Amino acid sequence: MKLSVLVNEGPYQHQSADSAIQFTTAALKKGHEIFRVFFYHDGVNNGTRFAVPPKDDRNITEQWTALSKEYNLDLVICIAAAQRRGILDENEAKRQGKDGHNMADGFRISGLGQLIEAGIQSDRLVIFGD
């Protein structure tokens, strides 16, 4: 089955982010295809490389990055939601006149069209968070 995942909550404020990565990992291990993981609303905070959780806590961003490398996942962060929350890739930081970027490896920034495409191309769009 071809699946896409929508993550609407940040990594440490809601169970949805943990559930999303656990679901995605389990689906991949069962042989399902993940067409895209789209991060929207506060979910864009999953893609910052500046989060530093305590050593005894999970690092959800690193988990997404590792999963992306292992399975060649398409991790897309909504540009509008990201800009509102200060999440910028290198190109967007330059375009906005900022002196640095904070997008983690494996993530890319794009628009809502990528979410629409994911819904069209997938058998199911699984949503985590409000």
> pLDDT of 98-108, one tens digit each?
999 999 999 99
2-128 under CATH 1.20.1250.20, yes or no: no
Task: Spell out the domain ranges in the chain.
Answer: 2-128
pLDDT tens readout for residues 24-36: 999 999 999 999 9
Q: Residue 90: name the closest of 105, 72, 80, 75 by CA.
A: 105
Neighbours of 32 (CB within 10 A): 15
Residues of the chain with pLDDT > 70, as a percent, come to 100
| Residue 78 falls in the annotated catalytic set | yes
Q: Catalytic: which of 37, 60, 76, 78? A: 78
Q: Are 93 and 100 in contact (CB under 8 A)?
A: yes
